[in-house]
Amino acid sequence: MSSFRDPDHQQRQSAAMTAKKAMLEKFRAAAHDPELAQRMAARKAMHEAGLARMAEREAARKVREAERAEQAAREAERALQAKREAEEREALRLTEEAEREVALKAEQKAIRDVRYAARKAAKKERRRGY
């Protein structure tokens, strides 16, 4: 037996159907709500502004990277130039040192030749006897 409080199957179905219709109407009303449209438009504007800011940041990052790359290239060029100059100075120092060594050897040879000539002359003089 069914009691007063227990609805039958058809009553439960009709109650479920009316609840579904009420939820559908509530959703349709919310979908056509002008306040919702304003919120969606504001949200879309904020999203687009965020995308614009992100694009600006990306462009600024690319500019910074380009400046860093340019700076690194300048630094590398300066380092290469300094290395070249140091190598040139070292080569110049070595050539000057070699020239001094050659001049020293020539001077020593001249002194040695003078001594040799003096010995030869002394020996010749001794042989002659005067």
How far, in Å, CA of 77 to CA of 84, rounded?
10
Domain positions in the chain: 9-93
Output the six-digit token pair for 125. Answer: 């003089």
CA distance 64 to 70: 10
Residue 33, SS3 per DSSP = coil
Check residue 1 and give its pLDDT: 47
Per-residue pLDDT tens for 2-47? 556 677 888 889 999 999 999 998 888 877 888 888 888 999 999 9
The HSE-up count of residue 111 (CA atoms within 13 Å, CB side) is: 6
Residues in the chain: 130
